[in-house]
Structure 1
Amino acid sequence: MSRFKYSSDELDMNKVLKMNQDVSRSLSDDQQMSQTRSGADGNIEASLALLRSLGKEKEISKLSADIASNEKDRRLEHRLVLESWGEIVAQANLHEPIEVSLEDIMTEAEIQSAFVELDFIEEQFSKKTSIINKTDLSFLAIATALQVAKSLVFPYVAEKFDYGKSFDPSERLEHNDKSIEKAHKEANDKFRDKRVEKHGTGHWINILYQTVPYDITKGSKDLGINMGGKYHRMYTLGHDSIFGWIFGTANILTDCITFNNFYTNRISRIDPVTGAKKMVITPEVVLLGKMFSECYDEVKADPLNLPVALFAQAQHLKSDEFTKLGLPVPILSSINEDFASKLYSENYDALCFARDAKIVGASFVISKLFDMIISLLHGLFRKDGEDKDLYEVRSRKILLISNAIASSSTIINATITSNPKNLDIGSLLNTMTHLFTDVRFILKIKQEFIENEIAERVQKEISAVDALYETF
C-alpha cells in the first residue's frame, strides 16, 4: 500500500507515467531493434571508411556540415498524431488496470532524492524571500491566486464594457442637430430666467448666448495656424474636457481662443471695415498673463460673469460630447499632438477615455482591496508578543512577492493565461483553484522564482521595505 494519498487526476497521471516507463523499457530491451540499430551504425561507419580510403574526406566534411546546418529545418515525413489527454488515460487504463502508486514507478532512492530537492527549493525560496513559516507561505499562495484571478477576470470585464474600443459615429448626432440646439437653448433660457429678476440684465446675457470664441476657425489659415479642419476641437483648449474649464472659461470671458500649444489670439465678432457681424481670428496675440488679468477685470465688473462663463463652458462641452466627432482625449493633444490626432481621427474620444479610465481605476481599487483583505487576515494570525511593525513588514513582503510572481511567472502564464479566450470565467477560476492547491504547481513557481529574474526584479523593493524597519 502506498504511503501517499492521490487524487483521481494524480492516479491517472501515475498510470500514464507507468505506461510510458514500460514502453521505454521495452524499446531499450528489444534485442532485434538493438541489432538492427547496431547493424545500421556499422554499415554507416564502413561506408565512411571506404569514402575516406578513396580520398573523399572533403566531401564527407561538407556533407556533415550540410546535415548539421539543415537539421533544424528538416521536416518529418511522418508527423506524430497528438492524442487528447482522455485518449492517453484510456490507453493507460488498458495497459495497467490496477491502481498505480509512485512506489511502482520510482525507486526508494529516487523518491528520497525528490524529497531532498523539495527541501532544497523550500530552503532557497525562504532565503530569497525571508518567508519561512507555513502561515506566511499559505498567505503568499492565496495572495498570488487573487492577483491571478484579477488578471483573468479583467479581460472579460473590459470586453463587456468595450474597453479600448472606439465609438461608432453612426450612433452619434450631428453637431448642429436640432435636438442639441433645442436642449442648449432651453438650458440657457432657464439659467437666464432664474437670475434676470434678481440681478437684472447686463453683459452676462451676451456671454450666455453668444458663440464660444474657441469654435471659430475663420482667419486661422491666413495666420498659418493649423486647426485640423473638422477636427478643430483637438487644437483648441476650450474643447479639452479638463483644460477647458480653465482656458475655455477664460476664452469666453475675454473673447480669445487658446490653442493646444498654449498660444492665444484675440477673436473679432465684427468686421472693422463694414461693421457687419463676422467672427474671425485676428493676428493679435494675447499673452496668458494678460488674458487672465482681463478675466479678473470681467469678474470684478460683474460677479455674475464668471458663473455664466462656467455655465456656458459646461453647456458647450455637453452639446459636443455626444456628437459624431465628440471631444478629444483630454490634455493629450498638448503633450503628443500626433498621437492625439491619430486617436481622434479613429473615433476614440474623451468619452471612450473616461470609460477606460473608470475600468482601469476599478481594477486598481480591486487590487488595493485584495491587498487590504490579505493584510487584515494575515494580521489576525499575529501572536501575542510579536512586534506589530515587524509583522507588517512580513505582510508587505507577501503582497510584494505575490504581485511579482503573478505578473512575471512564465509558468502561470503558460498554464492559465496563455489563451484565456478559449475558456469561460468559471472554467478559468476552477482551473486556478486546483492549481494553487497543487503542491507540485506551487513548487514549480517557487523554483522559477529562485532561478529567474523575478527574484532580482523585486529584491531592491524588498530591501527598501526592510530599510523602513531596519532599526527593529
Structure 2
Amino acid sequence: MSRFNYSEEELKLNKVIKMNQSESLKMKSDEEMKEIRKIADDRISSSIELLRLLGKGEDVENLSAQIQSRAGKRKFDNKPQVQSWDKLVAEAEEYCPDIVTLEDILTEEEIRASEDELDEIYRQFSKKTGIINKTDLSFLAVATALQVTKSLVFPYIAKKFEYGQGFDSSKRMAHNDNSIEKAHREANDKFRDEHLEKHGTGRWMNILYQTVPYDITKGSADLGINMGGKYHRMYTLGHDPMLGWLFGTANILTDCITFNTFQTNRISRIDPITGGKKMVITAENVSLGKMFKESIDFVKADYLNLPAAIFAQAQHLKSDEYTKVGLPLPILPIINEKFASRLYSEQYDYLCGKRDFKIVASSAFVSMFIDTIIGLVHGMFRKEGEDRDLYEVRTRKILLISNAMASTSTIIKSTFTNDIKNLDIGTLINTLLRLFLDIRFMAKIKREYIEREISTREQKVLDEVDSLYEEWT
C-alpha cells in the first residue's frame, strides 16, 4: 500500500509513466539492438580509419569540424509524432490494469532524493520569505509597537464613550410618552393622507392605527407562556431589531404573535361574548408556513397592505427604541434566552449594542489603517528585480505577527484585570481576518513557487529529451 495519496488524474499519469519506463528498459536491455548499435559503431570507426589510410584524413577532420559547428542546428527530416493523451492513457490502462503507485515506478532511494529536493525548495521559499533582514525586523518592531499600544490604550478611550455600559433609564422616555404618541400619530396620518385619495380605504387603514399584535400580553399566562412582564419585547420576534422586519411585518398582516421559540399564536381583538374590544392571545397555534402564506394572500389582496405593514413595523420599533425598556439585542434571545434576559434586565439594550458595535468597528478600522500604512511603506523598500509576490508574503508576515502580539496583549490584560471591557475586540477581529486572508495568500504563493520550481527543473530535463528528437548533434 502506498504512503502517498493520489487523485484520479495522478493515477492515470502513474500508469503512463510506468508503461514508458517499461518500454525504455526493454529497449535498453534488448541484446539484438545492442549488437546492431555495436556493428554500426564499428563500421563507422573502420570507415574513418580507411579514409585516413587513403590520405583523406584532412577531409575527415574538416567534415568533423563542419558537423560540430552545425551541432544543434540540423533537424530531423521526420519527427516522431506524439500520441494524444487520451490514447496514451488508454494504452497504459491496457498495459497496467492494476493501480500503479510511485513505489512501483521509483526506488526508495529515488523517492528519498525527490523528497530531499522538495525539502530544498521549501528551504529556498522560507529563506526568500523569512523576516531576517534589518529592514523587515525594523518594520516588525514598529508595527508591533503601534498595534500593541493601540490595543492597550483602547479601554481608556472606549470608557469615554461608555463602552459596555447599560443605559440610564432616567434619560429615557416612558413607553406612552405624549411626544412619542404624537410623533407616531402624525407619521400615520401623513402615510394615510398620501395614499387615501388615490387608493381609498381598506384593511391597510386598520394596519396603520391598530395596536401591533406582538404588543399584546393578555392571555399568555393562561397558555403557560412567560412573557417577562415589562420585558415582553425580548420574548417576541416582532420586537427584534433585525428579525422583526420579517416576523413583525408578518404578524401585523396576519394578527399573530411569534415568540422567541418561534411558536406563533393567533390574537383576538373582539370579546366573543360582548362583542366589544378585547385584545388577547388565543390558544390557536399557527405554523410559520401558514402565517407566511396568509401574509402573501393579504399582499395579493391589496398592494398597499404590505407597505402599510412595513411602515407600521418601522414606526413601532422607532417608538420603542428610546423608551425606558428599549429594544432587546437582535437574535440573542433565540440563541441564549437566559443571557439575553440578564443583559436586558440590566438595561443593556439594542442602542447600547449599536453604540458598542460602532466602537468595536472603529477599533478594527484603526488596526486596519495601521496595517495599510505599514504595508504601503514596506512595499516601497522592495528592491528592483525582487519577486513581488514573495515580497508581499514578507509584508503580510510582518502584519500578521504584529496583530497576533497585539491580540495576545489585550487578552492577557482582560484576563488579569478580570474585566471584559479591556478586551480590544476590534484588534481580535482584524487578527482573525489576517489569519484567514494572509495564510490563504501565503499558502497560494508557496504552492505556486513550488510548482514553478518543479516545472523549471522538469523543463530542463524535457529540453534535453527534446534535443534528441529535434536537433542533430
TM class by shorter chain equals 0.5 to 0.7
Matched residue type, 1:468 = K
Residue deviations 1:277-298, cap 9 Å, x none? 1111011111111111111111
Identity of aligned residues (%): 72
C-alpha separation between the residues in 1 aligned to 2:284 and 2:439?
Answer: 58
Instruction: Show the counterpart of 1:200.
Output: 200
Q: 1:460 to 1:249 in 2, by over 3 A?
A: closer
Contact 2:265 / 2:286 at 8 angstroms: preserved in 1? yes
Q: 1:152 to 1:408 in 2, by over 3 A?
A: closer
Instruction: Show the counterpart of 1:319.
Output: 319
Shift of 1:272: 1.9
C-alpha separation between the residues in 2 aligned to 1:337 and 1:413?
Answer: 29
Residue deviations 1:27-80, cap 9 Å, x none? xxxxxxxxxxxxxxxxxxxxxxxxxxxxxxxxxxxxxxxxxxxxxxxxxxxxxx
C-alpha separation between the residues in 1 aligned to 2:367 and 2:230?
Answer: 41
Q: 1:141 to 1:171 in 2, by over 3 A?
A: same
Q: 1:279 to 1:357 in 2, by over 3 A?
A: same
Instruction: Show the counterpart of 2:220.
Output: 220
Pairwise mapping of residues 209-288 of structure 1 onto structure 2 (< 5 A)?
209-288=209-288
Shift of 1:461: 10
**Secondary structure in 2 aligned to 1:158?**
helix
Where structure 2 has 5 or more consecutive residues not aligned to the other structure, the ranges are 1-125, 418-433, 450-473
Q: 1:179 to 1:409 in 2, by over 3 A?
A: closer
Matched residue type, 1:224 = G
Residue deviations 1:380-410, cap 9 Å, x none? 1111111111111111100111122233369
C-alpha separation between the residues in 1 aligned to 2:274 and 2:391?
Answer: 81
Shift of 1:245: 0.6
1:345 has 2:348 as partner = no
C-alpha separation between the residues in 2 aligned to 1:146 and 1:300?
Answer: 58
Shift of 1:466: 4.0
Aligned CA RMSD, in angstroms, stands at: 2.7
Normalising by structure 1, we get a TM-score of 0.61
Q: 1:463 to 1:366 in 2, by over 3 A?
A: closer
Shift of 1:153: 3.0
C-alpha separation between the residues in 2 aligned to 1:216 and 1:223?
Answer: 13
Q: 1:377 to 1:263 in 2, by over 3 A?
A: same
Q: 1:459 to 1:345 in 2, by over 3 A?
A: closer
1:330 has 2:306 as partner = no
Instruction: Show the counterpart of 1:432.
Output: none
Deviates further, 322-331 or 153-162: 153-162
Shift of 1:223: 0.7
Instruction: Show the counterpart of 2:443.
Output: 467
Report which of the two structures shows the higher radius of gyration computed on alpha carbons: 2
C-alpha separation between the residues in 1 aligned to 2:199 and 2:253?
Answer: 18
Pairwise mapping of residues 405-424 of structure 1 onto structure 2 (< 5 A)?
405-408=405-408
Where structure 1 has 5 or more consecutive residues not aligned to the other structure, the ranges are 1-125, 420-457
Instruction: Show the counterpart of 1:79.
Output: none
Pairwise mapping of residues 283-322 of structure 1 onto structure 2 (< 5 A)?
283-322=283-322
Q: 1:132 to 1:153 in 2, by over 3 A?
A: same
Instruction: Show the counterpart of 2:70.
Output: none
Pairwise mapping of residues 449-468 of structure 1 onto structure 2 (< 5 A)?
466-468=442-444
C-alpha separation between the residues in 2 aligned to 1:313 and 1:185?
Answer: 14
Normalising by structure 2, we get a TM-score of 0.61
C-alpha separation between the residues in 2 aligned to 1:198 and 1:332?
Answer: 42
Matched residue type, 1:133 = N
The total of aligned residue pairs comes to: 307
1:360 has 2:360 as partner = yes
Contact 2:217 / 2:281 at 8 angstroms: preserved in 1? yes
Residue deviations 1:430-469, cap 9 Å, x none? xxxxxxxxxxxxxxxxxxxxxxxxxxxx999987654222
**Secondary structure in 2 aligned to 1:469?**
helix
Matched residue type, 1:381 = F
